[in-house]
Structure 1
Amino acid sequence: MLPALHCPAVHTAESLAREISQWRADGHTIGFVPTMGALHEGHIALVLKAMEVCDRVVVSIFVNPTQFAAHEDLGTYPRTLEADSALLAAAGCHLLYAPSVEEVYPDGFATTVSVEGPAIGLESDARPHFFAGVASVVARLFGQVRPDIAVFGEKDYQQLMVVRRMVSDLALPVTVLGVETKREADGLALSSRNVYLSPAERMRAGRLNVILRDLAHALEDGEPAARALEHARILAASVFDAVDYIEVRDADRLEIVGEGPLARPARVLAAVRVGKTRLIDNVPANPARRG
C-alpha cells in the first residue's frame, strides 16, 4: 500500500517567513485559511476557494488556548495532524503552518485585540472571552502569514463578521472572503464537534437546520420577526437539551432587527446543546425573495 501523502509543513514563524518571502519574490499572491485542525470537507472547501483566488495557499492548524474558557474542551479538542496533513495534500494545499503555542504566544506576549460591534451578544453571551481570543490569534497569524486573501466559513458567521470588522478597523491589508456552509445530507453543518454526538443525538442534531430554514422562510414570506422567532424557539426547546439562542440579526452588521417583517437582508443564527455537545448554525433570510 502506498504511504499517505503529506502537505509540506513548517512549524516556526521563521521558516514560514522564508517560504512567504520566496513566493513574494516569484510574484505569487497568497491565500490563507486559519483552522484549529480536525479537518473535514467544510475546511477543504475553504482551501479550494483560496486556491481558486490565489497562487499559493497556507493553512494553519493551531488550537488556540485564548478562545477557550477554563471549563471548555481545550484539552479534549480533537488533534489529528497526520490525517489533516494528508487531506491538505490531497486538496493541493501548498503549505501547512502548524506552530506551537510558544511560537504564537512567545514569552512576554502581552497584547490582545478588544472587539465590540458584531462581537456583542450571541456567542459572547455564553462565551464572553471568545472573540477577543479569536481576533487576537487571527491578527497574530495575519502578521506571520501576510496573506492577500483570507478565507473563513460562514458556519461561524459571527466570527466572520468580527474578523471583517477587525480588518476594516485596523486597516489590515487582507481581503476576507466567506464560503457557504458545507452540510451533511440532512442539513447538519459539518463541524469537528459532530464526532461527539451519539447516534440518537446525531438524529436530533439534524433538526437544527430544518428549524432555522423554516424560520428563514417564514421571515421571507413576510411574517413578523417576533412571531416567527417565538414559534422557532418553542419548537427548538422541544427538540434540544438546551437552547442558548435563536436570533435574527442584520446580515451585514449583526445588529438586532425589529419585531416586524424584515426590511433588509438578515441572518438567522442559533446555538443549541444536544447532550454535552454545543452546536451552532445560521442561514440567510432575504426579504427580496418574497413573491
Structure 2
Amino acid sequence: TKALEHADVVVASIFVNPTQFNEASDLENYPRTIEADLVKLEASGCHVAFMPDVEEIYPEGHKTKTIEYEGLDLVMEGAERPGHFDGVVEVVARLFDIIQPDVACFGEKDFQQLAIIRKLVDEHDYAIDIIPCPIVREPHGLAMSSRNERLTEEQRQRAAILYETLQEMKNLVDIMNPDEVEQWGRDALNSSEYAELEYIQVADSQTLKTIFRWHECDSARAFVVARFGEVRLIDNLEIFRA
C-alpha cells in the first residue's frame, strides 16, 4: 500500500534469492507461501506480481554489480553473515535492471539492507527514489516477517520481548549514554530464558557505526537479532533523534 502512494503501477517481486543465504538449511527452510502472498498483494492493490525463476534473474553470462560498502557490510548482519549483502546487491540490481522502476519501497525492518540499497542506487546512478516503509507489527509488537510462521504460538508471544526491550532502551536515552543503553538491552535479553541473543547494537542511523555520545549523530537506532528455538528474528527501532 505504501507504493500506491508514490506510483500509478505497482510491481511486487516474489523471489527467494539463493545468493544471500549463508546456510543451505536456511534457504531450504525459508517460508514459501506463494498463494497467500498473491492474495495479500491483490488485496493491497498491487498490479503485477513478478515471480522469476533463478535462471531469469541470473542468466548465464550476466554481469554482477558491486558497490563500495564503506564499512556498511562489516557490522551486524554483515559480520554475522559474510557475503550476504553481496547477494542482496546482486539481486536488487537485477530487479532494478529488469523492472526499471521510478520508485522502490523497502522495509525498515531490514534497515542495514535499506542503507546498502541506497548506496547501490547512488553508486550506479539509478534514477530511482528509495522509499523506506515503517515496520509493521503484530498486536503484541513482534515485527511481521515470513519467518514468524515457523514460530509456535508460545514462541510468538515470548518473542514480543524484542520490541519491549527496544522500547525501554528508547526510554533510557535521557539518562544513559549509548554504550550504557546497549548494555542494558543486552542484559535484559540475556536474562530471558527463551531468547538466544545473537547481537544487540546502538548505532548511527546513517553510517551504522557505533556512537559514544548521542550528540554525535542526528539519529540513532537500536538493532537486535535473537533466536527463539530455530527461528532467527531481527528488529530495530529509532531510539534517538536530534
TM-score (norm 1): 0.78
Aligned partner (choices 187, 197, 200) of residue 246 of structure 1: 200
Runs of at least 4 residues off by over 4 Å: none
Superposed, which structure 2 residues align to 1:1-291 within 5 Å? 48-109=1-62, 111-117=64-70, 118-219=72-173, 221-239=174-192, 240-258=194-212, 260-264=213-217, 265-288=219-242
RCO greater where, 1 or 2, for CA within 8 Å and sep 6 or more? 1
Amino acid paired to 2:17: N
Give deviations 1:70-89, integer Å, cap 9, x for gaps.
34421222222222222211
Rounded to whole Å, the distance in 2 between the matches of 1:248 and 1:286 is 10
Amino acid paired to 1:163: I
Distance 1:152 1:287, change over 3 A: closer
Larger of the two Rg values belongs to structure:
1
Distance 1:54 1:174, change over 3 A: same
CA RMSD in angstroms, aligned pairs only: 1.6
Is the contact made by 1:153 and 1:179 (CA closer than 8 Å) also made in structure 2? Answer: yes
The 3-state SS of whatever aligns with 1:124 is helix
The 3-state SS of whatever aligns with 2:202 is strand
Give 5+ residue unaligned stretches, structure 2: none
TM-score (norm 2): 0.93
Amino acid paired to 1:158: Q
Give 5+ residue unaligned stretches, structure 1: 1-47
Is the contact made by 1:215 and 1:228 (CA closer than 8 Å) also made in structure 2? Answer: yes
